[in-house]
């Protein structure tokens, strides 16, 4: 993977970052990283903002632009949206909802097969995170004092979900059925509302 791709991936997953952090991460000079960032800025992939600190000059942080986020978009996004529009035109809202329900059921069955041997919430979430990672969601799981945080740094169906929000509700329903009635799931961040990622806080009743 080229350095620019590594930088894009890191910012996509971890959010805004300084050149110094990137230099330490990839064992390059800060000057070298700045040159890469300048090239990426010229390409419209990143932009920067300054954060004031107590002592010294402000710290410059780099973040992905809309174009930078689109760099990770699935190449089939437009086809998916066109298909949803066609279904809606031909069969109406009921036909579209039937398609979404069928996708939900297929996803649930696929995931259930993969977590058959998982007996508690943590092992289910570990398995679910691996499944979502394979499906292109750049997923990661954080365990903390408040339970679990399932993070999805990318949404391969973002364009389709923006057009048809029921897809997001469907995925939330899959999570709930998969984890069981004793799991409480709350979506804290949501890509289609303009946030950087989707994040789900999950606790036990």
Give me the average pLDDT of each 10-residue run along the chain (205 residues).
89 93 94 94 94 87 89 69 86 90 94 92 96 93 95 90 90 95 95 93 94
CATH numeric code, 3-71: 1.10.10.10
Can you state the percent helix, strand and coil of the chain, rounding each to 5?
Answer: 55, 20, 25
The rounded distance, in Å, linking the Cα atoms of 87 and 90 is 5
Q: 155, 191 in Cβ contact below 8 A?
A: yes
Of 19, 32, 23, residue with least CA distance to 62: 19
pTM of this structure: 0.76
Q: Is the dihedral of CA 22, 53, 198, 69 positive or negative?
A: negative
The rounded distance, in Å, linking the Cα atoms of 134 and 152 is 12
Residue extents of the structural domains in the chain:
3-71, 75-204
The rounded distance, in Å, linking the Cα atoms of 71 and 136 is 13
Q: Copy the structure tokens of residue 139.
A: 């997923």
- CA atoms lying within 13 Å on the CB side of residue 43: 16
Domains 3-71 and 75-204 are alike in CATH topology: no
| pLDDT given at position 188 | 96
| pLDDT given at position 73 | 67
Angle at 157 between CA 37 and CA 159, to 5 degrees: 75
The rounded distance, in Å, linking the Cα atoms of 56 and 64 is 26
In this structure, CATH architecture of domain 75-204: Alpha-Beta Complex (3.90)
């Amino acid at each position: 993977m080229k350095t620019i791709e590594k930088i894009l991936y890191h910012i996509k997953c971890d959010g805004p970052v300084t050149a110094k952090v990137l230099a330490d991460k990839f064992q390059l000079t800060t000057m070298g990283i700045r040159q890469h960032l300048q090239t990426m800025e010229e390409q419209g992939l990143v932009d920067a903002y300054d954060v004031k600190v107590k002592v010294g000059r402000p710290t410059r942080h780099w973040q992905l632009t809309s174009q930078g986020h689109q760099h990770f978009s699935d190449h089939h996004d437009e086809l998916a949206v066109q298909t949803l529009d066609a279904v809606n035109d031909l069969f109406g809202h009921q036909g579209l909802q039937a398609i979404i329900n069928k996708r939900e059921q297929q996803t649930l069955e696929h995931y259930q097969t993969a977590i058959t041997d998982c007996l508690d919430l943590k092992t289910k979430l570990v398995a679910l995170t691996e499944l979502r990672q394979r499906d292109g969601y750049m997923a990661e799981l954080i365990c903390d004092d408040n339970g679990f945080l399932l993070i999805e740094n990318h949404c391969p169906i973002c364009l389709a979900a923006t057009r048809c929000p029921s897809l997001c509700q469907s995925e939330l329903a899959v999570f709930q059925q998969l984890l069981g009635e004793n799991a409480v799931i709350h979506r804290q961040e949501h890509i289609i509302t303009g946030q950087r990622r989707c994040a789900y806080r999950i606790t036990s009743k």
